[in-house]
Amino acid sequence: MGSFSIATSQPIGVLVADSNHIHSQLLVEALRRRAEFRVSSCPLDVDAMVKAVAQNSIDVALVRADDDPGMLRAFHLAHPNIAKVLLFDGDDPEPVVTAFRSGARGVFQLADTSVRMLCKCILRVHQGQIWASNDQLSCLIDALAQVPGLRVVNSHGTKLLTPREEQVVALVADGLPNRDIALEMGVTENTVKKYLFYIFDKIGVSSRVELVLYAVSHGVTQQVERLPS
Protein backbone atom coordinates (compact mmCIF):
# COMPACT_ATOMS: atom_id res chain seq x y z
CA MET A 1 0.00 0.00 0.00
CA GLY A 2 1.43 3.38 -1.01
CA SER A 3 2.08 6.23 1.36
CA PHE A 4 -0.65 8.73 2.16
CA SER A 5 0.12 12.43 2.33
CA ILE A 6 -2.02 15.44 3.14
CA ALA A 7 -1.51 18.71 1.29
CA THR A 8 -2.63 21.63 3.45
CA SER A 9 -1.54 25.28 3.61
CA GLN A 10 -1.21 25.03 7.39
CA PRO A 11 -1.41 22.24 9.96
CA ILE A 12 -4.85 20.97 10.90
CA GLY A 13 -5.60 21.54 14.56
CA VAL A 14 -6.67 18.22 16.09
CA LEU A 15 -8.04 17.67 19.59
CA VAL A 16 -8.04 14.16 21.10
CA ALA A 17 -10.56 13.74 23.95
CA ASP A 18 -10.46 10.35 25.68
CA SER A 19 -11.16 9.17 29.21
CA ASN A 20 -8.38 6.57 28.93
CA HIS A 21 -5.05 8.39 29.41
CA ILE A 22 -2.94 5.60 27.90
CA HIS A 23 -5.11 5.32 24.78
CA SER A 24 -5.06 9.09 24.41
CA GLN A 25 -1.27 9.32 24.69
CA LEU A 26 -0.71 6.56 22.13
CA LEU A 27 -3.01 8.24 19.64
CA VAL A 28 -1.53 11.69 20.23
CA GLU A 29 2.02 10.38 19.75
CA ALA A 30 1.04 8.65 16.50
CA LEU A 31 -0.61 11.77 15.08
CA ARG A 32 2.21 14.07 16.17
CA ARG A 33 4.55 12.15 13.89
CA ARG A 34 2.65 13.76 11.02
CA ALA A 35 3.69 17.31 10.19
CA GLU A 36 0.23 17.95 8.75
CA PHE A 37 -1.35 17.96 12.20
CA ARG A 38 -1.06 20.16 15.26
CA VAL A 39 -2.31 17.88 18.05
CA SER A 40 -3.70 18.67 21.50
CA SER A 41 -5.36 16.40 24.04
CA CYS A 42 -7.65 16.67 27.04
CA PRO A 43 -9.79 14.47 29.28
CA LEU A 44 -13.23 13.41 28.09
CA ASP A 45 -15.05 16.26 29.81
CA VAL A 46 -17.05 19.05 28.17
CA ASP A 47 -15.46 21.79 30.29
CA ALA A 48 -11.98 20.45 29.56
CA MET A 49 -12.75 20.24 25.85
CA VAL A 50 -14.11 23.79 25.74
CA LYS A 51 -11.02 25.00 27.60
CA ALA A 52 -8.75 23.17 25.12
CA VAL A 53 -10.52 24.89 22.23
CA ALA A 54 -10.02 28.27 23.91
CA GLN A 55 -6.30 27.59 24.27
CA ASN A 56 -5.68 26.02 20.86
CA SER A 57 -6.93 26.48 17.32
CA ILE A 58 -8.96 23.30 16.79
CA ASP A 59 -10.36 22.20 13.43
CA VAL A 60 -11.18 18.54 14.13
CA ALA A 61 -12.05 16.86 17.43
CA LEU A 62 -11.55 13.12 17.89
CA VAL A 63 -13.89 12.14 20.71
CA ARG A 64 -13.99 8.70 22.30
CA ALA A 65 -17.43 8.98 23.88
CA ASP A 66 -19.39 5.97 22.63
CA ASP A 67 -20.44 5.17 26.24
CA ASP A 68 -21.55 8.77 26.84
CA PRO A 69 -23.22 10.18 23.69
CA GLY A 70 -24.45 13.20 25.61
CA MET A 71 -20.83 14.36 25.90
CA LEU A 72 -20.49 14.64 22.13
CA ARG A 73 -23.79 16.47 21.79
CA ALA A 74 -22.93 18.95 24.54
CA PHE A 75 -19.57 19.73 22.91
CA HIS A 76 -21.23 20.08 19.51
CA LEU A 77 -23.67 22.64 20.89
CA ALA A 78 -20.75 24.58 22.40
CA HIS A 79 -18.68 24.49 19.19
CA PRO A 80 -20.85 23.52 16.19
CA ASN A 81 -18.22 24.64 13.64
CA ILE A 82 -15.59 22.14 14.77
CA ALA A 83 -15.73 18.88 12.79
CA LYS A 84 -16.19 15.94 15.15
CA VAL A 85 -15.28 12.29 14.74
CA LEU A 86 -16.50 9.63 17.15
CA LEU A 87 -13.83 7.05 17.97
CA PHE A 88 -15.29 3.74 19.08
CA ASP A 89 -14.59 0.03 19.51
CA GLY A 90 -16.82 -2.93 18.80
CA ASP A 91 -19.49 -3.63 16.19
CA ASP A 92 -22.56 -2.17 17.89
CA PRO A 93 -24.28 0.14 15.34
CA GLU A 94 -26.00 2.23 18.02
CA PRO A 95 -22.98 4.54 18.66
CA VAL A 96 -22.84 5.26 14.92
CA VAL A 97 -26.46 6.43 14.73
CA THR A 98 -26.19 8.36 18.00
CA ALA A 99 -22.95 10.05 16.89
CA PHE A 100 -24.49 11.56 13.75
CA ARG A 101 -27.57 12.58 15.70
CA SER A 102 -25.19 14.35 18.09
CA GLY A 103 -23.46 16.38 15.39
CA ALA A 104 -20.54 14.16 14.32
CA ARG A 105 -19.19 14.43 10.78
CA GLY A 106 -17.55 11.03 10.94
CA VAL A 107 -17.27 7.77 12.85
CA PHE A 108 -14.04 5.82 13.09
CA GLN A 109 -13.82 2.24 14.37
CA LEU A 110 -10.45 1.85 16.09
CA ALA A 111 -10.27 -1.96 16.00
CA ASP A 112 -8.27 -3.32 13.05
CA THR A 113 -7.91 0.14 11.46
CA SER A 114 -4.61 1.86 10.73
CA VAL A 115 -3.42 5.30 11.80
CA ARG A 116 -3.01 6.03 8.10
CA MET A 117 -6.76 5.67 7.60
CA LEU A 118 -7.43 7.85 10.64
CA CYS A 119 -5.27 10.56 9.06
CA LYS A 120 -7.37 10.29 5.90
CA CYS A 121 -10.53 10.51 8.00
CA ILE A 122 -9.29 13.70 9.67
CA LEU A 123 -8.54 15.27 6.30
CA ARG A 124 -11.94 14.35 4.84
CA VAL A 125 -14.02 15.75 7.70
CA HIS A 126 -11.80 18.84 7.76
CA GLN A 127 -12.75 19.35 4.11
CA GLY A 128 -16.42 19.17 5.05
CA GLN A 129 -17.01 15.60 3.91
CA ILE A 130 -18.58 12.67 5.77
CA TRP A 131 -16.54 9.69 6.98
CA ALA A 132 -18.39 6.40 7.42
CA SER A 133 -18.17 2.89 5.99
CA ASN A 134 -20.85 1.35 3.79
CA ASP A 135 -22.06 -0.78 6.71
CA GLN A 136 -22.26 2.29 8.95
CA LEU A 137 -24.21 4.21 6.30
CA SER A 138 -26.58 1.25 6.03
CA CYS A 139 -27.20 1.46 9.78
CA LEU A 140 -28.05 5.15 9.39
CA ILE A 141 -30.44 4.48 6.52
CA ASP A 142 -32.15 1.73 8.53
CA ALA A 143 -32.52 4.10 11.47
CA LEU A 144 -34.07 6.77 9.29
CA ALA A 145 -36.43 4.25 7.69
CA GLN A 146 -38.05 3.86 11.10
CA VAL A 147 -38.76 7.59 11.35
CA PRO A 148 -42.17 8.67 9.94
CA GLY A 149 -40.99 12.21 9.15
CA LEU A 150 -38.35 14.82 9.82
CA ARG A 151 -38.43 18.48 10.76
CA VAL A 152 -34.97 19.76 9.84
CA VAL A 153 -33.56 22.30 12.30
CA ASN A 154 -30.20 23.95 12.95
CA SER A 155 -28.20 23.65 16.18
CA HIS A 156 -30.47 26.26 17.80
CA GLY A 157 -33.65 24.37 16.94
CA THR A 158 -34.73 26.83 14.23
CA LYS A 159 -36.59 25.40 11.24
CA LEU A 160 -34.61 25.68 8.03
CA LEU A 161 -37.04 24.31 5.46
CA THR A 162 -40.60 24.83 4.27
CA PRO A 163 -43.15 22.03 4.91
CA ARG A 164 -42.84 20.87 1.28
CA GLU A 165 -39.06 20.79 1.53
CA GLU A 166 -39.33 18.82 4.79
CA GLN A 167 -41.50 16.30 2.98
CA VAL A 168 -38.83 15.92 0.29
CA VAL A 169 -36.17 15.32 2.96
CA ALA A 170 -38.33 12.65 4.62
CA LEU A 171 -38.88 10.87 1.29
CA VAL A 172 -35.18 11.06 0.36
CA ALA A 173 -34.39 9.59 3.78
CA ASP A 174 -36.81 6.77 2.97
CA GLY A 175 -34.64 6.00 -0.08
CA LEU A 176 -37.08 7.13 -2.77
CA PRO A 177 -35.66 8.30 -6.13
CA ASN A 178 -36.85 11.57 -7.64
CA ARG A 179 -39.45 9.84 -9.82
CA ASP A 180 -41.15 8.18 -6.83
CA ILE A 181 -40.91 11.37 -4.76
CA ALA A 182 -42.67 13.21 -7.60
CA LEU A 183 -45.45 10.60 -7.65
CA GLU A 184 -45.81 10.72 -3.86
CA MET A 185 -46.05 14.52 -3.81
CA GLY A 186 -48.07 14.91 -6.99
CA VAL A 187 -45.49 17.08 -8.76
CA THR A 188 -43.05 16.71 -11.65
CA GLU A 189 -39.52 15.33 -11.35
CA ASN A 190 -38.24 18.76 -12.37
CA THR A 191 -40.03 20.28 -9.38
CA VAL A 192 -38.42 17.70 -7.08
CA LYS A 193 -35.01 18.63 -8.49
CA LYS A 194 -35.73 22.29 -7.75
CA TYR A 195 -36.73 21.41 -4.19
CA LEU A 196 -33.46 19.50 -3.74
CA PHE A 197 -31.46 22.41 -5.16
CA TYR A 198 -33.00 24.79 -2.61
CA ILE A 199 -32.60 22.25 0.23
CA PHE A 200 -28.93 21.64 -0.57
CA ASP A 201 -28.31 25.40 -0.68
CA LYS A 202 -30.13 26.10 2.60
CA ILE A 203 -28.37 23.46 4.71
CA GLY A 204 -25.01 23.45 2.92
CA VAL A 205 -24.80 19.91 1.52
CA SER A 206 -24.02 18.72 -1.99
CA SER A 207 -25.37 15.17 -2.23
CA ARG A 208 -28.28 12.97 -1.18
CA VAL A 209 -26.01 11.00 1.16
CA GLU A 210 -24.94 14.20 2.94
CA LEU A 211 -28.60 15.25 3.10
CA VAL A 212 -29.52 11.98 4.82
CA LEU A 213 -26.64 12.36 7.29
CA TYR A 214 -27.66 15.95 8.00
CA ALA A 215 -31.20 14.76 8.64
CA VAL A 216 -29.85 12.19 11.11
CA SER A 217 -27.91 14.91 12.94
CA HIS A 218 -30.55 17.66 12.85
CA GLY A 219 -33.89 15.97 12.21
CA VAL A 220 -36.67 16.09 14.79
CA THR A 221 -39.19 13.26 14.58
CA GLN A 222 -42.67 14.30 13.58
CA GLN A 223 -45.51 12.94 11.51
CA VAL A 224 -45.26 14.32 7.99
CA GLU A 225 -48.63 14.38 6.26
CA ARG A 226 -49.20 14.51 2.53
CA LEU A 227 -49.43 18.16 1.57
CA PRO A 228 -51.52 19.51 -1.28
CA SER A 229 -49.55 20.22 -4.45
| 108: CATH | 3.40.50.2300
- Domain check: are 94 and 158 in the same one? no
| pLDDT at 71 > cutoff 90 | no
- Domain check: are 126 and 33 in the same one? yes
Q: What is the pLDDT of residue 54?
A: 95
Give me the mean pLDDT over the 13-32 stretch. Answer: 93
CATH number where 185 lies: 1.10.10.10
- Domain check: are 117 and 26 in the same one? yes
Domain hosting residue 176, numbered range: 147-221
Does 228 reside within a domain?
A: no
Does 102 reside within a domain?
A: yes
Whole-angstrom distance, CA of residue 102 vs CA of residue 74: 8
| pLDDT at 35 > cutoff 60 | yes
Please report which confidence band the pLDDT of residue 30 belongs to, taking 50, 70 and 90 as the band edges.
Answer: very high
pLDDT tens for residues 141-157? 776 665 445 566 666 76
Q: Is-above-0.75 flag for pTM?
A: no
- Domain check: are 117 and 44 in the same one? yes
Weakest mean pLDDT among 80-84, 91-95, 130-134, 135-139:
91-95
Q: What is the pLDDT of residue 102?
A: 81
Number of domains in the chain: 2
